[in-house]
A and B are shown apart, each in its own frame.
Chain A
Amino acid sequence: MENTLEITGAIITLIGSIFLFLGSLGLVRMPDIYNRIQTGTKASTLGTILTLLGIALMNTDWFGKILLLMIFILITNPVSSHVLARAAHYIKSPLTKISVTDKLVDN
């Protein structure tokens, strides 16, 4: 028998994987490094968290470990994207041509 909790979990997993897909699509479509970091890391953070949440709902024994994974991703993902963006700016990767302003270079 399939109960509602399992179906809810499966739907949440599906939504999460769609976000992961959109994040990678952004990775291909965006014109410069910083925009790629934005779409790549943001969409993949929520996508992974939703996927894990769905699996945790379907398999409640694993909730502790999956919660740990979720917290870990929520903490490390912004840090790694920030560090990459800083390194990219440090080696003077150019912004795309339609960019409006760059205050960091001015100072």
Chain B
Amino acid sequence: MNIKNLSISFIILMVTWLLLNGNLEIITIISGIIISVLLAYIFCKKCDVFSNIKFTPKAFFYFIIYFFIFIVELIKSNFDVARRVLTPSLPIKPGIVEVKTKLKSKIGRIILANSITLTPGTLTIEMKEDRLYIHWIDVRNDDINEATKQIVQKFEKYLEVIYG
């Protein structure tokens, strides 16, 4: 039995249920527990999505840092988009580059791809094993190592600790 997967999916479902209801009455909590246990058991009997998450203090600390870096990058990316859209000459130099990642776990790669999509000027198009193909709105360097350094590594060093 994978208690870890089941309990994480149970917690996610329960928190969603409580946020959706917006009260803490006894009937809400009881029905929420019943539904969450059932759903977690039915849909996550064999899943291994969450097995690689680590619950150490260091991972938690890195998660907080990662979250703030992510928010800053999201805001930066939006100002970047706004600048490009508002400039009359449309300063873009697009292309698809290839980068590689060191992350092994599935969920780590998913989070990495989503983070790349939301950061300045990059969009994940395809992922084949440890290679990611990224559409870059302003290609500065199409060499694989340089592109990896510029796009992936700012997230990777945190995600490596959190998800392995």
Contact = CB atoms under 8 A, between A and B. Distances in A.
Q: Do chains A and B touch in the complex (CB under 8 A)?
A: yes
Interface of A: 19, 22-23, 25-26, 29-32, 34-35, 37-39, 41-43, 45-47, 61-62, 64-65, 67-68, 75, 77-79, 81-82, 85-86, 89, 95-96, 98-105, 107
The prevalent SS among residues of B at the interface is: mixed
B90 interface: yes
Contacts of A75: 114
Interface residues of B, number: 36
25 contacts: A19-B82, A22-B82, A22-B86, A25-B85, A25-B86, A34-B125, A34-B135, A39-B84, A42-B81, A43-B78, A43-B85, A45-B118, A47-B78, A78-B114, A78-B124, A85-B124, A85-B125, A85-B135, A86-B126, A99-B96, A101-B96, A101-B139, A103-B96, A104-B96, A104-B133
Interface stretch (B13-21, B29-37, B57-65, B156-164): B13-21
B8 interface: no
B6 interface: no
Contacts, number: 124
Contact of A38 (B16, B114, B123): B123
Given A26-B81, A104-B125, 18 more contacts: A29-B85, A35-B94, A38-B123, A42-B78, A62-B22, A67-B19, A68-B16, A81-B123, A85-B123, A85-B135, A86-B125, A95-B94, A99-B94, A101-B97, A102-B95, A103-B98, A103-B133, A104-B96
